[in-house]
Copies of this chain bind each other. A is one copy, B any other.
């Protein structure tokens, strides 16, 4: 339920109403002149209360703090080297799937930067389907990421899988990534919600748009509003030639519903390197605020996800084209 207040309402009455609703019990979220009460769909207002209210809407959106209803303007996330969200910004994030060694990561960071990326990706803690697959270098990997990023004037994004790692990883990264498998790991979402480090939340394999928005609300409810949402493909019957089904319509759908930036991940969406470039083109064309891709100079010997990694030259051609496409699109909006 959303209670739309008048301009300059009587705050004493609003406070009393809030207390009354919270006692039912229910959560009351005040955003400017709106009160959102997700658990309720009806309230009987006293005449004094009604005099301060212009409208009561039965349904609350999936994400309250993330909704365009209450904040029409885009969330813009500012990092030392990157701006994510808003008109006129397109952010490229690139790097290897896993951090493999200090030397390799430095090499890849240089390539990423040359292709226009301002954020370096790389997994130090890896969520692997099998417990017997490579699980990441841990803290050493975080150090290599930080150093390689600093050396190239880049920011860092890396995955956090475990609430007990939140503080450690926060020391090294500029952005937390929450992986698809943890989209509804609510303990982890609450943990990153307590920090002030920006969070990139990936959509789960069976995550509906509303599930993703609700998950983002777990972070925002903790006070961390620096959130971006990542579309990386969903799981469908169509999985012979691609790993997932890239749901690009989710980009404009999310942009209608929420003010958070939406980022696309063509690498995980398709899982095969020679489909990444056309899907990167499609991704920027869908209107996303940025892109995250995997690169590797020797994909056959990559520690993880080699088949979907772009080699340096392919990557640089792709990003050049993606930036040109974005500039063309900017010209339409000018």
Whether A252 pairs with B278 at a CB distance below 8 angstroms is: yes
A139 on interface, CB distance cutoff 8 Å: no
Whether B245 pairs with A247 at a CB distance below 8 angstroms is: yes
A238 on interface, CB distance cutoff 8 Å: yes
Instruction: List, in ascending order, chain B residues with CB within 8 A of A186's CB.
Output: 127-128, 131, 161, 181
State the number of copies, please.
4
> A248 contacts which of B128, B248, B253 (Cβ < 8 Å)?
B248
- A3 and B209 alpha carbons, distance in the complex (Å): 37
Q: A206-B206, A328-B325 are in contact. Are A132 and B39 (CB under 8 A)?
A: yes
Q: A131-B218, A217-B131, A286-B279 are in contact. Are A237 and B237 (CB under 8 A)?
A: yes
Instruction: List, in ascending order, chain B residues with CB within 8 A of A241's CB.
Output: 209, 249, 253, 257
A33 on interface, CB distance cutoff 8 Å: no
Most buried by B among A205, A209, A214: A205
Whether B275 pairs with A281 at a CB distance below 8 angstroms is: no
User: Closest residue to A219 on the B side, CB-wise?
Assistant: B131
Whether A208 pairs with B238 at a CB distance below 8 angstroms is: yes
User: Closest residue to A331 on the B side, CB-wise?
Assistant: B324
A282 on interface, CB distance cutoff 8 Å: yes
Instruction: List, in ascending order, chain B residues with CB within 8 A of A187's CB.
Output: 161-164
- A129 and B39 alpha carbons, distance in the complex (Å): 12
Most buried by B among A163, A237, A247: A237
Instruction: List, in ascending order, chain B residues with CB within 8 A of A26's CB.
Output: 132
A240 on interface, CB distance cutoff 8 Å: yes
Whether B239 pairs with A237 at a CB distance below 8 angstroms is: yes
A285 on interface, CB distance cutoff 8 Å: yes
A242 on interface, CB distance cutoff 8 Å: yes
Instruction: Give chain A interface residues in 224-247, CB to chain B under 8 Å.
Output: 234-242, 245-247
Whether A242 pairs with B249 at a CB distance below 8 angstroms is: yes
- A24 and B128 alpha carbons, distance in the complex (Å): 19
Contact bitstring A249-284, B, C-beta under 8 A = 1, else 0: 111110011000000000001100011001101111
**Known A241-B257, A325-B325, A328-B328; further 4 A-B contacts with Cβ < 8 A:** A249-B278, A281-B329, A321-B329, A325-B328
- Name A residues whose Cβ lies closer than 8 Å to a Cβ of B: 26-27, 29, 38-39, 62, 64, 127-133, 161-164, 181-182, 184-188, 190, 204-206, 208-211, 214, 217-218, 221, 234-242, 245-253, 256-257, 269-270, 274-275, 278-279, 281-287, 321, 324-325, 328-329, 332
